[in-house]
Amino acid sequence: MGYWDGKRVLLTGGAGFLGSCVREELVKHGAKDKDIIIPRSGKTDLRMWEQCAKAVKDIDVVVHLAAKVGGIGLNREMPGTLFYDNLIMGIQLMEASRQARVRKFVALGTICAYPKFTPVPFKESELWNGYPEETNAPYGLAKKMLLVQSQAYRAQYGFDSIFLLPVNLYGPGDNFDPRSSHVIPALIRKFGEAMDRGEKEVVVWGTGNASREFLYVSDAAEGIVLAAERYDGPEPVNLGAGFEIKIKDLVELIGGMMGFKGRVVWDKSKPDGQPRRMLDVSQAERLFGFKARTSFESGLRKTIDWYLENKTKIA
């Protein structure tokens, strides 16, 4: 009998970019599609206690992916909203799950929870050794409180809640909205639109000196499902690919893959965000056998191809 046999799963954010991949991965691992419950934000507002309590009724496993999230621009524009919405959704959903005797709760944190100057590669033990990078601190700290809640509930109630820290995700179906997208889809769209308009230059935020790590979305989904099945510990666990690339090199790589022949202009009045990001991913492999499988260039090619095929449908 497999882990998911007979289990009803609440997958918040299940209709989104990561959630749709997690749903596929759950089915691949033996969950029945009819037993995967996906609350839609139009009908279920997880900021409301009564709706959280209703959502977890007769549920065995909660995988909480739902989040209000975006790039540096959105974090600067709406820090209060990002703090409140993410904090209240997570705290209420975990408490409702505890009260409903849910057997397993999988909480997703964010790499934004790490201190601004965390030594590279980021080890889980460094999580509390400083304040996060200022532009995304409200979002990062809101998600980090789910770790505190997880550990407190495990200590007091024996509640089986785990906390995962994924690095920046990318892949087909990503958010390409320039107001809220992360760096990879934002760059793909910038280059694509510049080429469509015959423009000879693209403006990019910052200096290009910051570095980032990226995890292909279907790899992330596999890591989440493996953790749900195999990990029951109190400590946070990183989910990543274990590499870093400078934004300058990323811009050059995406521009080259898309065939952009023009000039890149760096708007140095805009922030770089955290100086460096790369995770130590050894714990995920040791604790639940997860290792990213998709090479960065292969994942980028699939993401670019998806954008080019679907750009007329993207607002």
Q: Do 60 and 102 meet the contact criterion of CB atoms below 8 Å apart?
A: yes
- Of 45, 40, 52, residue with least CA distance to 15: 40
CB atoms within 10 A of CB 269: 7
Smallest CA-to-CA distance from 154 within 104, 193, 195, 213 is with 104
Long-range contact list for 285-291, CB < 8 A, 24+ apart? Answer: 287/227, 287/230, 287/231, 287/233, 287/237, 288/223, 288/226, 288/227, 288/229, 288/230, 288/231, 288/237, 289/226, 289/230, 290/222, 290/223, 290/226, 290/227, 290/239
Catalytic residue among 84, 114, 131, 139: 139
Beta bridge partners of 9: 36, 61
Q: Quote the tokens at residue 307.
A: 């954008």
* CA pair distance 78, 204, nearest whole angstrom: 21
Q: Looking at the DSSP assignment, which residues form a beta bridge with residue 106?
A: 63, 162
Length of the chain: 315
Is 139 one of the annotated active-site residues of the chain? yes
Which residues are the active-site residues?
139
